[in-house]
Structure 1
Amino acid sequence: MSKENLSRTIGERIMLRRKQLGYTQEQAAEKSDLSHQFFSSVETGRKNLRAESVIKVARALNVSTDYLLMGVTNQVDVDNISKSLSKLSGTELHCLEEIIKNYLIALGYADGEE
């Protein structure tokens, strides 16, 4: 993958995660301690992040650096989801389980448990 394609791919992951959290670019930039202009340039792949900034963005977006850089999840991502799930009641958790099973089936995992 070329440097330009990598920058664009990382920027797309950042933008997707930011939108999932409901943040504007300005909010995400502020939480990351980066300027709005720089953050916008990163999202579009025009600028690259230094290691220090990758860490800041990952923390601000509550996601692992592995996900931002390589598109793979790790234990940090699993732990973040677990924290969110711990806030649900038993009934809510079981409803979410059903939603996840149906989602997995829609993705082609026949029994919804792979």
Structure 2
Amino acid sequence: MENETLKEIGKRLLSARKAKDYTQEQVANLTGLSIKMISAAENGHKAMRPENIIKICECLSISTDYLLCGESARLSTLTDYDEIKKLSPKQREALSKIVEDFLSAFE
């Protein structure tokens, strides 16, 4: 049985890669990682080493918080607000993506 956490990380990795319009091969070339490792991570079959997580996040311009937990570091600082605490994990992930996209547009 596969680990649900790995599957969720894989979904976020796949989504971030597609948002950048990169192929697995392009990510592999940009990070120095293998296509096989990227595919295994996207499919939730294998956990990534910390240094590989950092490489992938830098390549895809996402935070490790987003990849691992589904939210940005910026959003997690807002969790004191009652409205945000009431959101489901899926809603928090969507809000996190909106915040990250909005802020990256001004960098």
Q: TM over 0.5: same fold?
A: yes
Aligned length: 85
Retained in 1: the 8 A contact 2:41–2:48? yes
Structure 2 distance, partners of 1:80, 1:51, is: 24
Name the counterpart of 2:94: none
AA partner of residue 66 (structure 2): Y
Preserved CA contact (<8 Å) 1:62 1:80: no
Give SS of 2:68's match: helix
RMSD across aligned positions (CA): 2.4
Matched residue, 2:4:
5
* Deviations 1:20-77 (CA, angstroms, capped at 9, x unpaired): 11001111122222101111111001111011111111001000000000001124x8
For structure 1, the residue ranges without an aligned partner over 5 or more in a row are 87-114
The structure showing larger relative contact order (alpha-carbon pairs under 8 Å, at least 6 residues apart) is: 2
Runs of 4+ in 1 over 6 A off after TM superposition: none
**After superposition, where does 1:79-90 map in structure 2 within 5 Å?**
81-85=102-106
Q: Structure 2: which 5+ runs fail to align?
A: 75-96
Rounded to whole Å, the distance in 1 between the matches of 2:102 and 2:33 is 26
Give the secondary structure class of the aligned counterpart of 1:85.
coil
**Higher Cα Rg, which structure:** 1
